Amino acid sequence: MISPIFIFVVLIEMVIFAQSRPLRQKLIYSIIVAAALQANMIDSPIITSGALSSVSCTDFAVFCSFVLSLSFLLEAGKINKSLILVAALFLSLLLVSILFNLLFPYEKEIITATGNWSNYIYGYEGKTEAAITLRSAFVFIRFLMFIVGGLAFSVVVNRDVLIYISRRIVAVTKIAIAFGVIEVIAKYIFHSSITTSIKQFLVPDPGSATVVTLLQRGDLWALQGFTREPSHYAIVLFIFALLIILLISIGAKKHHDITWLFATVILMYLTAATSAVVFYILLMIFGIIALTNEKSVSKTNIRLLLGISCCFVLVVVIALISFGVFNSTTQFQKMIGLFNNLPNLLSGNIGELLNVQGSGRLVSIIDSFSVFLDRPLIGIGTGEINPYSGFIALLAGSGLFGALLLVLFLLRIDGNYCDFKNNILALVLFIGSTFILMDLSAMYATYWLILVPLVKQAFQKAEVPKVEKGLSSNLS
């Protein structure tokens, strides 16, 4: 069966390629499609069974963006030389890492990228010898497409383009948030999983990790939106809320932004995902900075400031609930259980972790970090290990040099790499949101090409001109 969402993506890409618009504008549209799909965690395969079941509709969108990026780079000709150097060094290091580990394999056993950490804890699955597989080649290709897309985007990126793309991603994600509200009604009032069935029809995902039933965590019916499971939906909500905060800070605010931000904060709690606590902390950090960044004292801005302040008061209250001050929630129970078993986690005493919720995540992070410490410079080969941490997966696979080069590439995309404070903020976002969350696929997600420069633009001290009107004319 062909995925309905894939058919929709194909039609959009056909329209983009068929348009008689400048290549620059086609590239921007294509980046919007890829970034919106990845920001909404749409992992639906092209075909739900067979050889193409491992290729998602998002992969197809990224490939289309890659083709347009190559064409644009050949046409543009003028690219930042230092950015090209960083990109070339990063890709070369990935190849060196793969070849080195092909000749001198990592001598210890690991849980490979295709393994299951929970099964390992329960004794259903053991570690295997580390070896370079085709997965390294596939991950390298994905990084290659990401880097080429970043090089092309560096030519077109400016404040107006960042706002234009961000607003389109926000508009698409509003569909997922509206669906989440419907999911609340279906699950909490009617105790029905009909929204999950609708999701599986529109965005089918036959993977074993996909939740297809009414999932209860503690006292909450966990929401998952159009994603495969609740923690993925928490990521979608986090990216949406962050974009809203950054757009408010940059001066591109909309009348109903605060309403959507409130809805997002509540839905994130109802995912019952422990990762939501980390996302709340990051949102509060950037929300506080956004508040201090507003200089205008107009009535509109005062209302926005009051709205965003109330929103983060709500975040604090929900965070307190999550930590068990008012009630014992599933997030709190997981954290207490993990904290109490921290000695077992650090010592690798897996047998004591069988009944500890969330232990698979931390075991994967600690175990993979020890792999990084064994080969800290160039790792054991990109893609060969995939813990529940995108940044640790990057460190373990490509080493410290690979991680530093990728971070440097992202910071240089907008050409402004001398602003120390805003570079630090971008690093806090990138590393903070991927250090104990997400996985390796997040490291080459297109939305980072937008989020990292947008953070730097949003918190610059210079006054921001209004950009909402006539924005499309600036893209051609």
| DSSP at 427 | H
Contacts of 438 (CB under 8 A, 6+ apart): 235, 388, 389, 390
Q: What is the SS3 assignment for 419?
A: coil
pLDDT (tens digit per residue) in 354-371: 566 666 777 888 889 999
pLDDT of residue 118: 78
pLDDT (tens digit per residue) in 1-19: 788 899 999 999 999 999 8
How far apart are the C-alpha atoms of 272 and 469, rounded to whole Å? Answer: 39
pLDDT of residue 417: 64
Q: Give the CA-trace dihedral at 214, 220, 226, 232, to 10 degrees.
A: -120
C-alpha Rg value of the chain to the nearest Å: 22
pLDDT of residue 463: 45
How far apart are the C-alpha atoms of 23 and 29, rounded to whole Å? Answer: 10
How far apart are the C-alpha atoms of 429 and 37, rounded to whole Å? Answer: 20
**Per the confidence metrics, is the pTM higher than 0.85?**
yes
pLDDT (tens digit per residue) in 295-325: 444 445 555 656 666 666 666 666 555 555 4
pLDDT of residue 295: 45
Q: Which residues of the chain have pLDDT under 70?
A: 50-53, 207-210, 255, 292-359, 416-418, 461-476
pLDDT of residue 306: 63
Residue keyed to tokens 């490979």: 112
